[in-house]
Amino acid sequence: MKRVLSGIQPSGDLHLGNYFGAIRQWISLQEKHECFYFLADLHSLTTVHDPEVLERNTYEAAITYLSCGLDPDTAVIFRQSDVPFHTELAWILSTVTPMGLLERAHSYKDKTSKGISPSVGLFTYPVLMAADILMYQADLVPVGKDQKQHVEITRDIAEKFHLAYGESFVLPEPYIPEEVAVIPGTDGQKMSKSYNNTLPIFAEEAVLKKKVMGIVTDSAEVSEKKKPEGNTIYELYKLVAPEKAPEMAKKFKAGGYGYGEAKKELLEALTDFLKPIWEKRKSIELRGNFVEEVLQEGARKARAEAEKTMRKVRELVGI
């Protein structure tokens, strides 16, 4: 049994890319390991300066995860800002973190090049992330490829701390399953909110239909034989209806099977796939304050764990 930890920045409506790229891994890991999953709302402050938006996004992310099957009886699910030790540890770690290490971080450069304002918080974002991870002595950190460097920076920061004060932290490994390939969006590029090509988990059925029917394809005639691999409709179908995918592949290869028909089949499979998640959400909403209760209980467990690390760290540094 390993200690697993991961966080997401609550940034609005989650989509199938988030589901297949992250949520699904979190859910399968919770069955075998001791998992800590949290909403990185302090990290979101680097980009969101509207309190209502932040609060809504945080709730939305929490209810999405619970609806998809994250189980608060198995995993510890909490909100980062409910455990103030994170910022304390981040400060302490920042005092052993070389500037050069952060200057090499890709995400800071990517984000500022997209117009996000270059605040000190954005620059030191990886130090807070290191604190999140080291606090819980995590062995494995399931993340997307874009976060791999942050986990490496975390290990470097831990080693700097060890050099100054002695062994204290587990050195974490990133966990990036091979099959978490890029999930294609409706335009064929990687599904991402910033490309406006997503299939949201909680879209109205009419919206979903419009998006699926709008999937970009080549202009092959219905009669032509088509290659299923690399075709967005097929790639998405394979994710939501893996057991039926070979059938669709056969039809594409045989010819006489058009993209319009394939899209209709995809829409049906997608709706079948999402329905239980929609229903779970409805049942959670009927339970009044359930989401908040889950987060409060998670925070209590997380704080107890964080306190162990902080007691040691404070003693080591002399405060």
Catalytic residues: 111, 190, 193
Q: How many residues bind ligand TRP (CB under 6 A)?
A: 14
The answer to whether residue 141 forms part of the interface with ligand TRP (CB under 6 A) is: yes
The answer to whether residue 6 forms part of the interface with ligand TRP (CB under 6 A) is: yes
H helix or E strand, kind and range, residue 307: helix 290-317
Choose between 45 and 96: whose C-beta lies nearer to ligand TRP: 45
DSSP codes joined into one string, 153-203? HHHHHHHHHHHHH---SPPPEEE--TT--PPB-TTSSBP-GGGT---BTT-
Question: How far lies 157's CA from each of 108, 133, 149, 153, 318, in Å?
Answer: 17, 11, 12, 6, 19
Strands laid side by side in the 34-39 sheet: 76-79, 34-39, 3-8, 140-142, 173-175
SS3 (DSSP) at 13: coil
| Least distance in angstroms from the C-beta of 46 to ligand TRP | 10
| CA pair distance 91, 310, nearest whole angstrom | 12
The answer to whether residue 200 forms part of the interface with ligand TRP (CB under 6 A) is: no
Tokens of residue 279, six digits: 């229903």
| CA pair distance 230, 34, nearest whole angstrom | 36
Sole binder of ligand TRP in the list 4, 90, 93, 129 (CB under 6 A): 129
Choose between 8 and 83: whose C-beta lies nearer to ligand TRP: 8
Sole binder of ligand TRP in the list 67, 81, 147, 231 (CB under 6 A): 147
| Least distance in angstroms from the C-beta of 293 to ligand TRP | 23
As a dihedral over the C-alpha atoms of residue 72, residue 74, residue 80, residue 86, rounded to 10 degrees, the angle is: 160
The answer to whether residue 42 forms part of the interface with ligand TRP (CB under 6 A) is: no
Sole binder of ligand TRP in the list 23, 134, 143, 199 (CB under 6 A): 143
CA atoms in the 13 A half-sphere facing the CB of 20: 27
Choose between 147 and 232: whose C-beta lies nearer to ligand TRP: 147
| Least distance in angstroms from the C-beta of 157 to ligand TRP | 13
The answer to whether residue 40 forms part of the interface with ligand TRP (CB under 6 A) is: yes
Choose between 25 and 147: whose C-beta lies nearer to ligand TRP: 147
The answer to whether residue 79 forms part of the interface with ligand TRP (CB under 6 A) is: no
Stretch that binds ligand TRP, among 6-14, 27-35, 249-257, 273-281 (CB under 6 A): 6-14
Stretch that binds ligand TRP, among 5-13, 92-100, 158-166, 218-226 (CB under 6 A): 5-13
Q: How far is CA 248 from the centre of its chain?
A: 29
| Least distance in angstroms from the C-beta of 80 to ligand TRP | 7
Question: How far lies 129's CA from each of 12, 53, 242, 312, in Å?
Answer: 20, 22, 35, 19
Q: How far is CA 126 from the centre of its chain?
A: 16
∠ CA 230-233-237 to the nearest 5 degrees? Answer: 100
Site for ligand TRP in 149-188 (CB under 6 A): 150
Report the interface residues with ligand TRP, using CB under 6 A. Answer: 5-9, 40, 43, 129, 132-133, 141, 143, 147, 150
